[in-house]
């Protein structure tokens, strides 16, 4: 079974704080993704990575950065959290061997006060 885990289920941070969201997958997948999900807007792609140290901007990268130092781990960084970054953050992974079918983690509900 594919397993994607995220470091926190719930997180509360203050405006201006630096926030790290961690994602780990145990299936040796090449591709990893970060989405945010907001009511009425669906899932929106923030960044993705198709290899270690590689990253590509998604649809809404502003205010975010990512890091992929190891194949199994993909981190999302909010350099200076703002209230409009309050959202559900979802990590996913996929492999070309599995037709790039994406498998999701349980999500992190981030609240920025």
Closest CA to 88 of 55, 56, 43, 47: 43
Site string for other proteins, 47-86 (x = CB under 8 A): -x-x-------x----------------------------
Question: Binder to other proteins among 43, 53, 55, 73 (CB under 8 A)?
Answer: 43
Q: By CB under 8 A, name the binding residues for other proteins.
A: 4, 31, 33, 40, 42-43, 45, 48, 50, 58, 90, 94, 96, 99-107, 109
């Amino acid at each position: 079974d594919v397993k994607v885990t995220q470091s926190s289920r719930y997180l509360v941070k203050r405006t201006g704080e630096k926030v790290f969201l961690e994602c780990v997958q145990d299936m040796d997948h090449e591709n990893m993704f970060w989405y945010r999900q907001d009511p009425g807007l669906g899932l929106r792609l923030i960044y993705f990575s198709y290899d270690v140290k590689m990253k590509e901007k998604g649809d809404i990268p502003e205010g975010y950065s990512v890091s992929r130092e190891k194949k199994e781990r993909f981190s999302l960084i909010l350099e200076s959290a703002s209230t409009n970054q309050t959202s559900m953050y979802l990590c996913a992974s996929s492999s070309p061997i599995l037709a790039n079918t994406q498998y999701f983690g349980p999500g992190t509900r981030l609240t920025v006060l």
